[in-house]
Amino acid sequence: MSTIFPFAPGLPWTVQNKKFIIPKLKHSLWESFLSGKDTILVSNGGLFEVFASLMFAEIINYTFPKNKLYTICDPKFNSVLSSNGLTNLHKEETPGDLNIKYPTPIFADRKGRVYLNCLLQYHKIITLDGCFSHFNRKAALEQIFSNTLYNQNIILPKIRRGETKKFSDWKKISKFYPNKPYIVIFPDDTGLSISNEKLLNWSITQTKSFGQMLSQIGFDLIIVTDAAHKYYGSSSYKLAPIDWNIIYPLLQKAQGVISREPDFQLISLLISDNKIFTEKNNSHLGILKNSKFLDKIERVISYSKLSPANIISDLMEKNDRNYNDGNL
């Protein structure tokens, strides 16, 4: 049995057990509802959620290139939208409690604008009467992609903007040479994630020592932090501020990324070919679960405990293999 809601006219939804809407539509209905309409993405999450939600923009741009695209998100992520180049920040507030007032992934307002709720049923499954039911254990990327209602292959978010002046200035000041192999590390809370995983839990001494060990095997270390003063006193690593315009080009060309915050692990998975060093984590934001969804599990190096010694050991083993294979 199908249900049609007044905020999504003409779209029949299957309701399971009178509690849950199944996020599926016939492609022809999806196309007719979206074609030629101003389209507003709603992504009230952290850095990863906003960036991952740009797959909606990619899909709409591919299917309906004439649609105007906007995004409702935290304004501090405006630079993320700008780097993608397909959607602009929408200054209106989210129209009510989405999961209760508009419990479908797609709906329209009285002005004929279409909204895409990128994070519907994200992590927490809510019933039609607004009650918590259970946690969504699927990979975060799978959860977000299912809300696109797109029945073709996934289209991942892209970075369309080249190097910014801010990054160019930072390279000069830091004497950073991107052609030299480097690792990017996020030791502190960046304030950009909604995850409870914030700190790397390495001491300052461990982080500094890690930079020295990396330099001995031919790698630079880039420490991304807004607490640069904690890491003064060594030339074996470089310091970068928490700024998206500096972070994304660093992630794109790094040989490896180290972070407890899942946002940087997951975005690296989407925009680069680097290795992601992580502790085992089976949550919806866990990199293992998400890399399996994208069939990129070979990108992940996981440990029961993430430590400088473990990472150095793996990097040295890789260097030895490259040397023996004639790649160095």
Domain that includes residue 14, residue range: 2-146
| Same domain, yes or no: 182 and 280 | yes
Residue 99: predicted pLDDT: 76
pLDDT tops 70 at residue 213: yes
Residue 328: predicted pLDDT: 40
Lowest-confidence segment of 116-120, 232-236, 317-321 by average pLDDT: 317-321
In degrees, rounded to 5, the angle at the alpha carbon of residue 82 between the alpha carbons of residues 90 and 8 is 35
| Same domain, yes or no: 206 and 284 | yes
Model confidence at 247, pLDDT cuts 50, 70, 90, reads very high
Residue 274: predicted pLDDT: 95
Q: What pLDDT digit, counting tens, does each position of 255-284 carry?
A: 999 999 999 999 999 999 999 999 988 899
Residue 323: predicted pLDDT: 35
| Same domain, yes or no: 43 and 170 | no
Nearest to 193 by CA among 259, 240, 272: 259
The model's pTM is 0.94
| Same domain, yes or no: 178 and 101 | no
Say how many Å lie between the first and final Cα of the chain, rounded: 63
pLDDT tops 60 at residue 320: no
Q: What is the mean pLDDT of the chain?
A: 93
pLDDT tops 80 at residue 84: yes
In degrees, rounded to 5, the angle at the alpha carbon of residue 194 between the alpha carbons of residues 230 and 170 is 45
Q: Can you state the angle between helices 308-324 and 204-216, rounded to 10 degrees? A: 10
For residues 186-200, average pLDDT? 93
Residues in the chain: 328
Q: Is residue 159 part of a domain?
A: no
φ and ψ of 318, to 5 deg? -65, -45
Rounded Cα distance between 126 and 239, Å, is 42
More confident residue, 30 or 198: 30
Q: In the chain, how many domains are there? A: 2
Residue 192 · residue 51 · CB < 8 Å: no
Residue 176: predicted pLDDT: 96
Q: Is residue 312 part of a domain?
A: yes
Residue 75: predicted pLDDT: 96
Of 146, 174, 199, which closes a domain?
146
Residue 265 · residue 291 · CB < 8 Å: no
Model confidence at 198, pLDDT cuts 50, 70, 90, reads confident
Q: Is residue 153 part of a domain?
A: no
Of 146, 179, 212, which closes a domain?
146
| Same domain, yes or no: 142 and 171 | no
Q: What pLDDT digit, counting tens, does each position of 108-153 carry?
A: 999 999 999 999 999 999 999 889 999 999 999 999 999 999 999 9
| Same domain, yes or no: 227 and 169 | yes
